[in-house]
Amino acid sequence: MRTTFPDAGVLRPRLKLTPWDAVVVPLIIVIILLLTIAFQGASQPFDVATTPDLTVSLDPINLPYYGLRTVFRMFLAVLLSLLFTFTVATLAAKSRRAEMVIIPALDFLQSLPILGFLTVTTAIFLGVFRGSLLGLEAASIFAIFTSQVWNMAFSFYHSLITIPRELREAAAVLRLSPWKKFWKLEVPFAMPGLIWNTMMSVSGGWFFVVASEVIAVVGRDNDQYLPGVGSYIALAIEQADIAAMVYAGLTLLIIILIYDQLIFRPIVAWSEKFKFEQSEAQEVAQSWMLRLLQRSGFASSLNAVGAAVRRSIPTLPVREASGSRVEAQSDPRPMDRAIDRVWYGMVIAVTLWAVWFLATYMFGPGLGFENGRVLAANPNVNTDLDPEIARQFAAFGVTANPDQTVWLSDVCAATAGGTQVSAELAALVRNERVGAPDDLAAACAVPMAPAGKVAWSEVLECLWLGLLTTMRVVIWIGISTLVWTPIGVWIGLRPRVAQFVQPLAQFAAAFPANLLFPVAVVLIATYALPQNLFQAPLMILGAQWYILFNVIAGTVSIPNELKEAAQVLGLRGWAWWRKLIIPAIFPAFVTGGITASGGSWNASIVSEVVSWGATTLTLSGLGAYIAYWSTGEFNPHVGLGMLVMGLLVLAFNRLFWRRLYMLAETRFRLD
Binding residues (CB under 8 A) for other proteins: these are: 164, 166-167, 169-170, 172-177, 180, 184-185, 188, 191, 273-280, 311, 318-327, 330-331, 666-667
Measured from the CB of residue 320, what is the shortest distance to other proteins in angstroms?
7
Of 2 and 430, which has the nearer Cβ to other proteins?
2
Respond yes or no on whether the N-terminal peptide bond of residue 19 is cis (omega within 30° of 0).
Answer: no
Nearest residue to 603 (alpha-carbon basis) of 509, 488, 482, 524: 509
In whole angstroms, the minimum distance from the beta carbon of 325 to other proteins comes to: 5
Tell me which residue of 4, 315, 381 sits closest to 177, measured CA to CA.
315
**Residue 195 and residue 184: Cα distance in Å, rounded?**
16
> Closest CB to other proteins among 65 and 274?
274
Q: What's the min distance (Å) between Cβ of 179 and other proteins?
A: 11
CB 418 within 8 A of CB 440: yes
Of 298, 332, 386, nearest to 18 by C-alpha is 298
- Contact (CB, 8 A) for 213 and 136: no
When the beta carbons of 572 and 669 are compared against other proteins, the nearer one is 669
For other proteins, give the closer residue by CB, 172 or 441.
Answer: 172
Q: Report the residue number, 243 or 662, with the smaller CB distance to other proteins.
A: 662
Least distance to other proteins, CB of residue 382, Å: 58
Of 466, 464, 451, 457, give the one whose Cα is nearest residue 377: 457
Neighbours of 316 (CB within 10 A): 9
- Quote the distance between the C-alpha of residue 653 and its chain's center: 17
Least distance from C-beta 198 to other proteins, angstroms? 17
Closer residue to other proteins in complex, CB, 277/432 = 277
The residue (of 323 and 387) whose beta carbon lies closer to other proteins is: 323
Q: Which helix (H) or strand (E) holds 224?
A: strand 224-225
Instruction: Supply the DSSP string of 365-410, one letter for each residue.
Output: TTTTEETTEEPBP--BS-TT--HHHHHHHHHTTPPPPTT---BHHH
Question: Would you say 258 or 326 has its CB closer to other proteins?
Answer: 326
Helix (H, G, I), strand (E, B) or coil at 222: coil
From residue 273, alpha-carbon distances to 154, 199, 296, 308, 566 in Å are 22, 17, 20, 22, 35
Supply the minimum distance, in Å, between the C-beta of residue 498 and other proteins: 26
Q: C-beta of 60: minimal distance to other proteins in Å?
A: 45
Shortest gap between Cβ of 282 and other proteins (angstroms)? 13
Q: Report the C-alpha gap between 150 and 157 in whole angstroms.
A: 11
| Dihedral over alpha carbons 614, 617, 620, 626 (to 10 degrees) | -50
Other beta carbons within 10 Å of 62: 15
DSSP string, 226-275: -SSHHHHHHHHHHTT-HHHHHHHHHHHHHHHHHIIIIIIHHHHHHHGGG-
Q: Are 379 and 435 in contact (CB under 8 A)?
A: yes
Provide the minimum distance between the beta carbon of 319 and other proteins in the complex, in angstroms, as a whole number: 7
**Cβ-based nearer residue to other proteins, 173 or 565:** 173
Tell me whether residue 327 or residue 438 sits nearer to other proteins (CB atom): 327
Of the pair 164, 495, the CB lying nearest other proteins is at: 164
The full length of the chain comes to 671
Q: How far is the CB of 549 from other proteins (least distance, A)?
A: 27
**Least distance from C-beta 314 to other proteins, angstroms?**
9
In the complex, the smallest distance separating the C-beta of residue 321 from other proteins, rounded to whole angstroms, is: 7
